[in-house]
Amino acid sequence: MQFLLKMEKVLVVFIGLFGLAFASFLSTLSYRSSRGLSILSPPSFCPGCGRRLGLFELMPVLGYLSQRGKCRVCGYRIPVQYLCAELVLPGMYMGMYLLHGLSLQFFIYIYLVGLLVYLSLVDIDRRVVSAGDVAAVYAGAAAVVFFILFGFLPDRFVLHLYGFIAVCTLLFFSVLLVYVRKKVMSVGTGDLFIIPGIGLYFSFREDIRILVFAALAGVIVGVLLISAKKVKRDFKFPMIPFIAAGVCIEIFLF
């Protein structure tokens, strides 16, 4: 019994370390894919001065903290969202393992949350997501549908279908209302395609809660940033990070 407990602790630590390394990889991938750069070449470099980064600088979290968030040569400020990804993703992965164990649901969630972290970084950086990013969301959703239809998951597909339709309907009327009043689109094209895809991962009630949580997170962050005069009232916030927050809240609280 004690041996099993020790092995479980080792597994939790391993999953956390995997999440840390994966978050670092996703940070690099999001930066390079947003700029059309290869993931393999050139080697990791400072965007400010082009200097090749050393081994310690590439260490997740520690590299950022040791340099106080900036390049030690040119002073280029490293965006804080990369540090946030490296702090949040390992904790999410460990928490999901403690909740679900090494189940199929666990692997679905680590795929979805990892993908949402990547999309959030891209959305914050460029406000544009590619067709490949959209395809990755729906590929995972298709896998979920497959697992449900063939009995690998106990859920009913019709509930996921209702959730998908509800998300599409609410999103359509929200965008239409904003467009009629302001004559501008309220969200980017990538958001419009990605959000319904995420809706397929969950049932009707779960999707509705996710949208509510995402809206509340957006309002709270928006009010705080505007009150602190970090952004102006007309600032266009990236939507995907708030959707990711809604998904994470749903996974852990319900």
pLDDT per position as a tens digit, 65-79: 888 888 888 888 989
SS3 letters for 41-70?
A: CCCCECCCCCCECCCHHHCCCHHHHHCCCE
Domain boundaries of the chain, sorted by first residue:
1-101, 103-254
Q: What's the whole-number mean pLDDT along residues 217-222?
A: 91
Provide the pLDDT confidence category of residue 95 given band limits of 50, 70 and 90.
Answer: very high
Convert the pLDDT of each residue in 5-25 to its tens digit: 677 888 999 999 999 999 999
Residue 92 backbone dihedrals phi, psi, to 5 degrees: -65, -45
As given in the structure block, the two tokens for residue 179 are 């467009």
Distance CA 198, CA 80 (A): 26
Q: What's the mean pLDDT when you consider all of the chain?
A: 87
* Half-sphere exposure (Cβ direction) of 78: Cα atoms closer than 13 Å: 24
Distance CA 156, CA 176 (A): 31
Percent of the chain surpassing pLDDT 70: 93
Q: 136-174 burial, b if ≥16 CB within 10 A, otherwise e?
A: bbbebbebbbebbeeeebebebebbebbbebbeebbeee
Q: What's the whole-number mean pLDDT along residues 141-155?
A: 90
Q: Amino acid identity of 109?
A: Y
Distance, C-alpha 15 to centroid of its chain: 18
Q: Amino acid identity of 76?
A: Y
- Answer yes or no: are the C-beta atoms of 203 and 159 closer than 8 Å: yes
pTM over cut 0.75: yes
